[in-house]
Amino acid sequence: MVVPVVLVLLVLVNVLGRDGADRPVADVEGTPAAPREDLPPVVVDTPDVTPEADLACPVLMGQLPLEMAGESSRQVDSDSPFAYAWGDPPVVLVCGVAPPAGFAADTGTLAVNGVEWFVDDSDPDVYVWTTVDRLVPVEVRVPAEHDSALVTALGPIISTALPYTEPSPTS
């Protein structure tokens, strides 16, 4: 019993009792985290932050990776801290948007990786994916040049970060 306690104390002294200069440097192999793209910031118009978004969106934003579906993240210039972008042309995510205006009882939705989406394809240049089954809607603007891989990859992150709610058509 004394040996394990002494061993633990020795480890703690070695870890906590040294300054940074004495610590060994680990040789870690693998690919480092991708840096943000060296591109100008993406200007993103965002809605006013609601109390619901202020509570829910930080959880989602904290889980978004620097690289997703082969696209590196980009700096965002917006009035809200709840906007994120990847790639060039940018795929833009905004947490805390209004429910999609075109979502009605008779419109179809797509379920992708645990999230139900309304897709507005009225603009041939940008497809707007908006969650309809989360307490706080999330919008992802995907340029026509991109496929839906990033939306697919976002599903598990959104489904664990934001609480589910029964979809409610706006009209």
Which pLDDT tens digit goes with each residue over 38-87? Answer: 789 999 999 999 999 999 999 999 999 999 999 999 999 999 999 999 99
Round the average pLDDT of the chain to a whole number and report it: 83
Q: How far apart are alpha carbons 151 and 11 in whole angstroms?
A: 45
Measured between its terminal Cα atoms, the distance across the chain in Å is 69
The reported pLDDT for the residue numbered 97 is 97
Contact between 64 and 157 under an 8 Å Cβ cutoff? The reply is yes
Residue 151 within any structural domain of the chain: yes
Instruction: Write out the residue range of the structural domain in which residue 79 sits.
Output: 33-161
The reported pLDDT for the residue numbered 164 is 96
- Provide the number of structural domains found in the chain: 1
Residue 58 within any structural domain of the chain: yes
Residue 9 within any structural domain of the chain: no
Residue 132 within any structural domain of the chain: yes
Residue 1 within any structural domain of the chain: no
pTM of the model: 0.78
Percent of the chain with pLDDT over 90: 70
The reported pLDDT for the residue numbered 39 is 86
Q: How far apart are alpha carbons 83 and 76 in whole angstroms?
A: 7
Residue 158 pLDDT greater than 70, yes or no: yes
The reported pLDDT for the residue numbered 5 is 36
Residue 5 within any structural domain of the chain: no
Let me know the angle formed at the C-alpha of 171 by 144 and 162, rounded to the nearest 5 degrees.
65
> How confident is residue 36, by pLDDT bands cut at 50, 70 and 90?
low
Return the bridge partners of 134, or none: 164
Residue 12 within any structural domain of the chain: no
Contact between 158 and 117 under an 8 Å Cβ cutoff? The reply is no
Residue 149 within any structural domain of the chain: yes
Residue 28 pLDDT greater than 80, yes or no: no
Examine residue 4 and say whether the peptide bond preceding it is cis (omega within 30 degrees of 0): no
Nearest by Cα to 134 from 47, 61, 52: 52
**Strand 76-77 with 42-43, pairing:** parallel
Reduce the DSSP state of residue 120 to 3 states and report it.
strand
Contact between 92 and 42 under an 8 Å Cβ cutoff? The reply is yes
